[in-house]
Structure formats: structure tokens, C-alpha cells
Structure 1
Amino acid sequence: MASESGSPVAVYSALVANFVIAITKFLASAVTGSSAMFSEGVHSVVDTSNQALILLGLRRSRKPPDARHPFGYGKELYFWSFVVAIILFGFGGGLSFYEGIKHVRHPVTIDNPTWNYVVLSIAFVVESAAWILAYKELRKAEGDTPFFRALRASKNPAVFTVLAEDTAAMLGLLVAFLGVFLGQLLGMPILDGVASIVIGVILCLVAAFLAFESKALLIGESADMETIESVRAIAEADEAVLEVYDPLTMHFSSRQILLNLGVRFVADDGRIDIVSAIKRIERAIKVAHPDIRRIFIEAEGPNELEE
């Protein structure tokens, strides 16, 4: 997207992929009667809806600041990502559980699983391609940070939501394949229903992860410690600064950070222009960290903190 929240390429690719895959999964389920395939179809429908909601959040988060929201609408994307988690848990996980339990109680023998294998194979290739695109977006923002740490550190729901859902999708496809294959191999059609229940568990776990991440962002997460220490070092390097204290930061979007910085200046003996020093510090911080859009500096004299 625009500069506020990164590119929506990963979201668009995942949306198109899931829409096409959902249709093929439901067709395969209708032909073969597979519960696991039906659950995978539900999974893809939920993912498609969720990506549409993320795109809605991306669009609405671009709205410029106004009198009621002077810091902009960046956090609206975090709200929609929380809605995504609720839908994934309630609709995706719940319906997969229901379908799985129904087929465990009343197993359906799959006479010709060929359709299932073909659809699952195609779906895995398409989901993998969408996952790779989202992974590249994550790497652009997080560099060489280990995958799970980078996923937790990401402040962009358009990236971590797609990655989490695509990871769940690929795991679900493997489970569905095993359910159908082992059910045929062992003559135990009940395994198809068990696979559907396992898919439901996967969806609920991913939904819980997304809800936790979205909640933290809605409450307000600080910038990473590397950024905070860099800001402190930049301010302390100015000749007019005696001490830097209480650096407070908060993300309003993945690329919009608020900074409040306490600065204790040296005594004003006519050689130090405090106003110029503040502007100098703000300029240096924004050059080093373009994502820090708003800076508030609390200026203190050399003796004020001691009082």
C-alpha cells in the first residue's frame, strides 16, 4: 500500500489464491464426500474473507489525520486484524470441528480419492507461492531476524496475518492429505473426520496467535529496543544535551511511530540555543528513523531533575 503500511501484494495474491482454491476444494468435497476436504474449503473461504477485511483495514488506515483523530487512522488496521482472528476462530475452527465430529460419528467411505489428491496438490503449490510472497515482505521489514521472532516483532498485520494463515493452510493441506490417504490405506474412513478436527485445532491456534498480536498492537506497542537506544544515542550526541531520559514510543501503524523524549540540556550561558538544539535533534532522529513521524521533546534545565 502507501507508505503507511507497506505493500498489499501479499494480501492480494493470497486473496485470489484462496478464492480459487476454495471453489476447487468444495467441488472435490461434493464429488468424494470428504469431511477433511470440506473443512479445507471452509478454511479457504474464511481466509478469503479475512484477506478482504485486511484490505479494507489497509484502505481505511490511509485516511489522513483530522480533528477527532489527530494521530491518523493507522490503528484501524489492527482492529480489522483482530476481527480476522475472531472469524478464523469462530467460523473456521468451529465449523471444522463440527464437520469432523459429524464424520467421526458417521464415517463416509471415499471410493475415489483422486480428486482430493489433485486438488490438495494444486492448493499446496498455490499456497506455497502466496506464502513466499508474504515471507519476502516480512524479510524486507525484519531483515535476518529468525522467522518466529520476526513474525512476533512485525507491526504490519497485512504481512503477519497472511503468513500465519498461509502457514496454517499448508499444515491443513498436509493433515487433509494424511486423513484421506491413511483412511484409504487402512480402511478407516473415520480418519477423514479426525483430520477435519485437527484442521479445526490448527485454525483455532492460529486465530489465538493473531488475536494476541492484534490485542498488543491495539493497546499500543513500543518501538524495538534497537530503535529506542539509537534515538537515545542520537540525542545524547548533541553538544547541548546533558542527559536523555524516559524515551517513550508507540506504534500507530507499521510505519508510524510516536516518540516522546525527555532531554536535560546544559546550562544556557548564551552559547546554547535550546530551540535550535531541539530542532537539530528532531531532524537527526527523523533522518535515522523515517518511521518516527511525531516527536515531542520535554526540555529540562540542568538542575530541574534534581528538584
Structure 2
Amino acid sequence: MKELFVLLKQGNKSAFLAAIVNTVIAIIKGVAYGFTGNVAMFAETLHSLGDAANQFFVFIGSALSKKAPTPRFPNGFGRLVNLVLLGAVLIVGIMSFETVKEGFHHIIHPTKSTGLLINLSVLLLSVILESFVLFKAAKEIAHETGINEKGVMLLIKSIGSLKRAKPATKLVFMEDTVATLGGILAIVSILLSHFTPFHQAEGIASVIIGLMMFIVVGRVFLDNAAGVLGESDEEMKQKIGDMIINDPDVKDIQDISVIKEGETLHVEVEIEVDPLITVAKADVIKDRLEEAIRQEKGVADVIVEFDEDDGIKQWTEKNETKENS
């Protein structure tokens, strides 16, 4: 039990905060839907409920993925967060289906809802809270990817750096982006339905919110399926390779792989060195390179192997091929 609490302290903080906020929002929206029967509010209730459950599982998964390797699982638990996220998207997928189904039902059989002030107050509060969590997730992405921006530019840069963010942070950012946009869309649809005869607006908003949730489900599923299989980080591979080749004792790089293990990176590199160096010299080179590679953000495990220099510059050829392609 003590180990579990230690691991939970290392869980993704953005996911934990988002889970708490979305639980509160889901309860408030559910109460509002019970009073008003508004279909857009129903969609938003399911959306927030799905997000809360999803992000709670993500927090648990991100924490357990940091468990130290055991004799039974010597490679560690890094990919556990990917497995948890694959399971979590099923929850959002079910909520998405129910949201779209209810929306189509309201489009075919439109009804005028009541409780305008209640609906608008609840949705406005939820948009404010979701925006707060969204900016927190954007700051987390900035911390993970080295962005130094503030305000609107922070959000813009975070979207561009989303691919390099940790799986849990990425999920929170995407879900709260959809949640914020969904809240705004629900507000617009309620106003249209109340002040015009276009009562189908709430059903259309519900369908759009459900489809946006499906987009998140698809993106998260594909990203984490790749993570479970073992996805290569090509950008970090290039960065580490360029750093290694500049070492004065490294003649060439025979092979290098940088594999994502959940929220961390596993690096294996085979370098070519002068065949006349001593074992002691090779050990110094190995320690120096391992220390330098571990300084890169996210790197948790490094293996350096040696081969004798064959006089063929493979790493340079790879770079030139990449630049010319």
C-alpha cells in the first residue's frame, strides 16, 4: 500500500486535476439536465462524465507505469499507461455514441427546453473551469517539450508540440479542448433554440459534440496502439545521433533506436570506435555517452554497444539521404 501511494504521487497531475474538475462539472450539468431536460445539457453531462472517468484512469495508469522493473517484468511497466489509455477510450466511445444517438433523436423530434438561465449559468461555469484545465495541460506540454510562451501563444505552440507530449498530458489537452468548444457550442445552440423556432439546434449541437469526442477517441487509440507496439521517436533519434557523432572518440554510428516506453524513452546505440583503444578507454567513452544521453528529456534507459570502425560513414549517409528526400 505504501508503494502505491508513492507511485500515485508520481502520476500525471494534469490528468488528476482534470478528473476532479470534470467530476464536479458532470454533477452540476447532471442536476441542470434533471431540471431542464435540455438535450445539449445531456450531451455535455455525458461528455464531462466520460472525461472524468477517462482522466481518472489515465492518472492511475501514468502512476503505475513508473513502477520499477521486477523479475517477472524486467523491462518495467512503461507501456502500462498506453494500455490504460486504450481501455479508457472505450468509455469515451460509449459516451460519444449515446451523445450522437440522443442528438439525432432530438433533431427528428425537436422539443423546446426550459430553464434558460440555469443552462447558461452551468455551461458558462463549465467553460471557465474547462478553460482553466486546458491552460494547465498546455503548461504541462510546454514543460515537457521546452516551450517558453504565455497566453494565447502558449495554446498555439502546445497544439504544434502535441505529438511530443506525454500520452496522458496529450489526452487531457485534447479532451479539454473538445470540452471547452463543446460548452461554447451548447451555449449557442440553447440560445438559438430559445429565441428562434430552430429547436433542432440543440440536437445538432449534441451530434457535433459526440463526433468531436469520436475524433479524440480515434486519435488516442491510434497513438497508444503505436505506443503498445513500441513506437520509434525519430526526432529524438536524430538529436541523440547528432550529439553522439560529435564525440571525439566516436568514428561512426552503426545503429541507433529510440523507443517510447509509455512516458519515457529507451535508447540503444551501437557506435564504431578505433579498434586499438583499451577496454578502460572504451568504458570511459561508454560512461560519458550514457551520461550525456540521459540528460535528454524523457530518457530513462540507455544501452551503448561498441564495434570497430569500418571506415564507412553510415550516419552521415543517413543524414544526407534524409535531407535530400
TM-score by length of 1: 0.89
What are the equivalent positions in structure 2 for 1:129-168 lying under 5 Å apart? 129-144=132-147, 146-154=157-165, 156-168=166-178
2 CA distance for matches of 1:4 and 1:258?
Answer: 23
2:107 to 91, 104, 109: 104
Name the counterpart of 2:296: 289
**Aligned twin of 2:252:** 243
Q: Give the AA of the match of 1:23.
A: I
| Superposed displacement of residue 50, structure 1 | 0.5
Distance 1:105 1:217 in 2: 41
3-state SS, counterpart of residue 217 of structure 2: helix
Contact 2:13 2:59 in 1 (8 A): no
Residues 24-103 of structure 1 mapped to structure 2, 5 A cutoff: 24-89=28-93, 91-103=94-106
What secondary structure does 2:285 align onto? helix
- Tell me what 2:194 maps to: 184
The whole-number CA distance in structure 2 between the counterparts of 1:198 and 1:113 is 21
Q: Take 1:191 and 1:230, find their aligned partners in 2: how far apart are those partners?
A: 50
CA offset digits 1:83-141 (Å, max 9, x no partner): 2222212x121000111122122222123311111101111111111111111111101
Alignment of 1:211-226 (within 5 A): 211-225=221-235
Is 1:182–1:188's contact at 8 Å kept on the other side of the alignment?
yes
In structure 1, give the amino acid aligned to 2:256.
P
- Which deviates more, 39-48 or 182-191? 182-191
**Larger displacement relative to structure 2 (169-178 or 138-147):** 138-147
Which letter maps to 1:116?
A: N
Change (3 A) 1:269 1:32: closer
State the structure with bigger RCO (CA 8 A, min sep 6), 1 or 2: 1
Within 1, Cα distance between the matches of 2:211 and 2:288? 54
SS in 2 for 1:241: coil
Task: Determine which of 274, 277, 280 is the counterpart of 2:282.
Answer: 274
Unaligned runs of 5+ in 1: none
- Separation in structure 2 between the aligned mates of residue 282 and residue 116 of structure 1, nearest angstrom: 57
Give the Cα separation in 1 of the matches to 2:218 and 2:9: 23
Q: Which amino acid aligns with 1:169?
A: A
CA distance in 2: counterparts of 1:264 and 1:2, whole angstroms: 41
Do 1:4 and 1:62's aligned partners in 2 also have CA atoms closer than 8 Å? Answer: no
SS of 1:245 mapped into structure 2: strand
Query: Please, which runs of 5 or more residues in structure 2 have no aligned partner?
Result: 148-155, 314-325
State the identity %: 24
| 3-state SS of paired residue (2:233) | coil
Measured in 2, the distance between the counterparts of 1:59 and 1:279 equals 30
Distance (whole Å) between structure 2 residues aligned to residue 28 and residue 165 of structure 1? 22
SS in 2 for 1:235: helix
Pairwise CA distance, 1:152: 1.7
Distance 1:27 1:72 in 2: 43
How far is 1:236 from its partner?
A: 3.0
Q: 2:221 and 2:75 mapped to 1: Cα distance?
A: 24
Q: Deviations over 1:220-257 (max 9, x none)?
A: 222352x3344334433444322123211111132x32
8 Å CA contact retained: 1:267, 1:301: yes
Distance in 2 of aligned mates of 1:200 and 1:162? 17
Residue 9 (structure 1) aligned with residue 13 (structure 2) = yes
Q: Go from structure 1 to structure 2 and tell me whether the alpha carbon gap of 1:281 and 1:190 turns closer, same or farther (over 3 Å shift).
A: closer
For 1:247 and 1:79, the matched residues in 2 are separated by 26
Give how far 1:6 is off.
6.4
1-side partners of 2:262 and 2:279: how far apart? 40
CA distance in structure 2 between the partners assigned to 1:67 and 1:305 by the alignment: 40
Displacement of 1:269 in angstroms is: 6.0
How many angstroms does 1:274 deviate by? 2.5
Instruction: Pick which of 269-278 and 78-87 moved more.
Output: 269-278
Aligned residue-pair number: 301
Shift of 1:294: 2.3
Any conservation in 1 of the 2:82–2:167 contact (CA below 8 Å)? yes
Change (3 A) 1:173 1:271: closer
- Structure 1 residues 233, 198: closer, same or farther in 2, change over 3 A? closer
For 1:104 and 1:239, the matched residues in 2 are separated by 69
1:22 aligns with 2:26: yes
CA RMSD for the aligned pairs? 2.6
- Secondary structure (helix, strand or coil) at the match of 1:297 reads strand
Range moving further from structure 2, 264-273 or 117-126:
264-273
TM-score (norm 2): 0.84
Instruction: State the secondary structure of the residue aligned to 2:73.
Output: coil
